[in-house]
Each structure stands twice: as C-alpha cells, then as structure tokens.
Structure 1
Amino acid sequence: MAVRPTRRGLFGLAGAGAAGLLVGGTGGIAAAGGVPGIAGVPALSGGRDGGRQATVPFYGAHQAGIVTPAQDRLHFASFTMLAGTGRDDLIALLRDWSEAASMLTQGKPVGTGVEPDSLLLPPDDTGEAEGLGSGHLTLTFGLGRALFVGAADDAGEADPYGIRGRLPQAFEPLPSFAFDLLAPGYTGGDLCVQACADDPQVAVHAIRNLARIAAGRAHLRWSQLGFGRTASTSRAQDTPRNLFGFKDGTANLMAEDDGELAEHLWAGDEAPEWLRGGSYLVARKIQMTIESWDRSSLAEQERIFGRTKLAGGPLSGGEEFTEPDFTAPDPEQTAQPAIDIAAHMRLAHPLHNGGARMLRRGYNYVDGSNELGQLSAGLFFISYQRDPATFVRVQRSLKPDLLNEYIRHIGSGLWAVPAGAARGEFIAQALFE
C-alpha cells in the first residue's frame, strides 16, 4: 500500500528538512560532544548554557533513547487508539509523530510554534519549553500487541489495522507473575512513547504535544514521570542508586558492547523485517514500601541485595564491578554462602538465567503520599531485550527474591520497538509497505 503524507506531514517535512542541517546526516551522529568510541550510538552534540542546546539525532539505524547514555528525567506515556480508527489513521499518526519528534529533539517548536497565523487560532506548540533548548531529549516509540490482533485477542480474526500477518512470533503477552497487583490505570496500551531528557519540562512538553497531535486518533491512557535514572547504559556513566539507596544493575548491557548488543538487544533474522534492528520494551511500575524498608537493619538490607550499600560491591568481596562469587562462604557463618541464595543479585544474575541479559533504563518515581504520610514511590522499571522471553525468564527467577517483601508490581506493559527511521521516513514505515 502506498503511504501518502498528511497535510500536517507535508508541512512538517519541509521544516524537518531545513532543521536537519543542524544535526548531521541519516546516520544520526551529531557533530561533537558525544560519548567517544561507541559505534552506532548517537552522540550528544555539545551546546551552550550548560548543554541545554545539546541534541541527540532522531533519525538513525536504531531509535534513540535505547543505548543513548541515560538522561536523568523521564516522561513515559501509553496511548490507546480510538474506536473506529483504521490503518490510514495509524499511519498518519506515526508520520505526524515522527515529524514532530524530529523537531522536538532539536529543541525546535512543533509546526508554526507558539505564534499561529491568526490570534484566533490555538498555537501549534504549547510553548512551555521555549528557551529551554533540546536538553538531550530522546523520543522512543513502541507498538502494542493489540494493534495487530485487536484488544480482546480472542479466537476471532481481529485485524483492525491490516497488520495481523506481520505479528512477530515472539510478541506474546506477558504472563501473570507471582505477587503481581497490576492496576489497569498503569497497564498496557496500543502505543508507547518514552521521552528522556536532562530537563523534566522538556520531556513533559514533548509528551504533551504528541498527545495534542494524536487528538482524534489516539488518547493518552496513562503516563509516568521519573527522575534519577537507576541504570547506566554507558561505561562513561557512574552507576546510580534506587530509592532503597542501593546500586543495582551493574551487569547491565552497555552501549560499548557491540557484540553483546547484537546478541541480546537488537532483533535479528528471527524477526519480521520491519522489526530487525529494533527491540522489545518492557515497562513495570514497582511500588516500594519505603517506610518498612527504612526500619530494616543495614545487615538485612545488604543481605537482600547481596551487595554492600555504600560501595556496591558483592558480599563475596571486592569492588562494585567485581564478579560475584556465589560459592564463597559467609565469613561469620561458614555453613551459609556470603551471598544469600535468595538475594536479588544472585537470582537476577545472567549465570542463573542461562546467560539472559537485558538493557535496563529505569527511573525512580514519587507520586506524592497517602493520608497516612506514606510515600507513593518506587521504581519505574524499563528494559529492552531482543526477545520478551528474556524478561519472562528473569522475572520468574525472582519469585523467591528477598526483595519481594518490600515491593509491589502495580503496572506493566510490553511493546515492540521498531528500528530507527531514515530522514524522510516515519517510525515503523516498513510495517505498512
């Protein structure tokens, strides 16, 4: 089927073509200031005002916001297509979103900006990010399974957007896991957008404007703000801490590991052509019982994670990145291992999951407090993996995790993340060709 641009799309392409001169060619490497020596990773172009003008190119072989060095702020959004929409509506939305994303990631306004041709018209851009620059904004788009098979996915032949025949074999719904307490208000969605930036207002502005563009075709189902990244995606970054105060995920996939990324992150020949070079995104909203944790002894906290709290080294000895020795005995109780058999790091480690590895880029969140003065806070977990079965395997391994006493999984979602788009294309264009 031939894909024709919308009226909005034609205007956006003209603007994107001019703006494209600022960020380089289709390969998606900015002029300067990136993390050196990482092949295929969009560089971060340096700018004025403490990096406010720094950009990550939208176009490239892979979508930005996956192996891009993790920014400190997140606005994650899940969208549902409106009843009665069809294939042309989905194509037009993805085209318009891609055009807008190419401008937003350069710190440029959407459409005609905050000054329309007539004062009687609403502005194309909401304006709250004027003067803030691009702030390393990345926008990463994912497609939900319901786009392929319909919302109910019963035994029928639902194919609302004419793409059921291109459903990847690996794209199965996530199963129910032990201790799941999922709330519909934080679960699922036909489309997702992950906006990451150095400035929270830049990320919020991006989602707000993409939601406005979606009007009449899709509506915002749920969203989540995040701060303080909980994972590093490059060795140039220090390992951050979660709200329990621990460093976690030191065995994370890193942008520098080309071979590991090809094996564990990017979809390959096993996937349909439209998904090759893409990945799968899992999002989990994990509420932490902060007050109970804060009353636990340091010894108990370290036993739960299997690490020292201050330095982050394994309890078997060594520094943060020392490979853990799961056979080492506890020096005070020689009949017990130094790292508990139900410690989080043991159960999540690739050695105990058939070598399974993921790329994590989660964030802390605080959604206020309840009437008892308890924080509604936790981890907004995000992982990317070549096959959703990787996440399923690791999550099932965590069933006896000592950490489960202090956490509740209250939200969940799985999306297929297409490969990146070349200049003049839109995200997932190959899916419709």
Structure 2
Amino acid sequence: MTSIVVLGAGYTGMAATMSLAGRLRRRTDVQITLVNGSDRFTERLRLHQLASGQDLADLRIPTMLAGTGVTLETGWVTNIDADARQIRVDDERVLPYDTLVYALGGTADTGAVPGADEHAYTLDSAEHADALARRLADLESIAVCGTGFTGVEAAAEIAERHPHLRVVLIGRSEPGATMTPKAKAYLGAALRRLNVEVRSGVEIVKILPGGVALAGGDSVEVEAVLWTGGVRVSPLAAAAGFEVDGHGRIVTDAALRSVSHPSVYAIGDAAAIRQGYGTMHGTCQGGIPTGVHAAASIARELAGAEPKPFRFGYIHMPVSLGRNDAVIQFTHPDDSAKRLFLTGRRAIWYKETVSASPWKTFRQLMKAPAVGMVSWRRGGRYTR
C-alpha cells in the first residue's frame, strides 16, 4: 500500500487532497491521509470579516472528505523524520509516508518586532480573529500594523462595522503601493471615507501594551493592536533537514519537489517556488494551483511517468474595502499592475466571486483531468 500524507488543510492542502482523491479514486493500492490541527476549515481570506464581528460559515473538513476515502488525522505535527519517512502528530502518533505533501502554510510574523507576540492580535486562525472581535465593542481605538492588502482589508472592515472606533493603519509603504496611481488613489479615498487614519512611511520598532512605538521616538497610543506585517513559516521543514531558503521555505525543483528530498512536495506559502519572474509570494491565488499541480504530479509518478514543470502567472490584486466597496487591480503574470482595474459594485461582485466558499472549487477538483489542463482557480492562471 502506497501512503500519501498531506500536511495542512488550508486552501492549498485541501486543493491537493481533493485533487489527489479524484485522480487516484480507482487506485485501491493508495491511502491518502490529511493531517490538520482541527476538523474546521478556516477561510483565511475572510478572517478580517470575523475579526470585525461578522459570522462566517462553519465549514467542517470531514463533511468535505465524506466519500473520498481520505483519512483525516486531527492534531499538530511535532516532528518529521525525513530519513525514516515518518510524521509525528501531537508527540504520540506516528504516520509513515511514501510521498509527503507539505502544505503547512504561514502565520503572522509577530517575531518581526519586540512586543508583537505578547501584545498584538493576529489573523492566524478563526480563534484569534474571534478573540479580537469580542473586544472591539469595548474599545475606543485600535492600530492595524501592516499596510499590505491584509492590513488594508482589516482596517476597512473594522472601521465600517465599528464607526465609533479610531482605526489607525500603520506601515512602511503606502496602502496600494503596487497598484496603478488611479487604483491606489481610489483605495486611499475609500480609507478616508471610512475615517481610517493612515500612517505610512514609518518604521514600527515595538508593540507596547498601550500602543505602537515608531522609529525616531514617535508613538501611536491605542488600546489594541492587530499585527498583519509579514508572514513566517513553521520551523519544522528546516528541523527535518529539508533544504530551505532564508525564510525557512522548502526549496523546490520545477515540479514542486523538495530539491533535497524528492519524495516531498512543497506547496503554497511553505515553498520557495521559482518562476521566470522570480520566487512566488504566498497567496491563495497561487496556492491552490500548486496543490493541484502536486496532485497531478504524484498521480503521474504512480503511473510511471515523470511530473511536468509548474508554471504560474498572477492575474489580479483583489482588495475588499468593507462590505460596500472594493478595488480589483489586474496584473501581468509577474504581478506587476496593468492599467485595468475595477471599483465599486463591479469590484464587489468580482471579489465576492473569487472569495466565495471554496467547497464548490474543492468538489470540482475531484473531477479534474489527469493531464494537460489550463485551470483558473481563485484568480490565478495555472498551465501545465
């Protein structure tokens, strides 16, 4: 019996698992096991909504896996023995594997500045987002640290739902810095309409119990801080002896296999995946296609064929600005901005379409062809 183990049931890991289940459903000699910290699927694309106090659908992984033949192991991965090809879960269960799909993703980099671990909320999980939501009604001020798209979406969502709050968005770059000037101007105007204070071009040096310390001695006094500045990955890959880059991501070959351990496929945020334009950055837009490709490659290997190179191009930067506005910046494959962008109602429809419940996408992956496809999933263009 060939054992395939998938670590992580986020968008990327679920895409790999469901695609594997579909491609290998006629193989009685293959067992697929999915390992995740809980049985709940987290819609990370919507955690800023949960943090603002909105309800999200309660999506359960066993419901999606029903009838697939996939075994779900609930628990935290505590060790990977690459030589023995074994995974240890919760320091008590050992799972052997022939092929490993590493999709553990990333978390907010609260180690970037002192105090963030102790004093800042994050959007790492539904539990973390819900913890912030429970406090917002009793606050008068909050700082969102990080002016990337996650920070922008969180600040806008909180400001719209809690107009009594003073919301301060703080970071080095201007919000929407990678967009065209017109799209960036629209985003900035939307934040002003929502009364979000923007402090860009500043360096955060410390998170305090009552605010944010900036370089040069300045500070922003607030009652709570939400940290969205940067992403870090689990140290498990480096500890297991996989070759990793400077950020701890597994270095892959063209087919998404670990260059040091070819029996391991690394996908999504956890992988340093090189394309012609550089290393991919972690987004759902790119993560799902990497999961699909890994599944297709494993199926090819089991059939005695060589996996094909992975090729991917970005097509958009979708940013929600509360529930009543959005801006969609379309891009070239290397993620640089095109002239075309959407705003207002059209952008809301577009954003909600690409951010819709992933259940339909995962079910479609059960029917995916084994070879030669062009697929558009979550806005990313993936060709094989």
TM bracket (short chain): under 0.3
More strand by share: 2
TM-score under structure 2 normalisation? 0.26
Larger Rg: 1
TM-score under structure 1 normalisation? 0.24
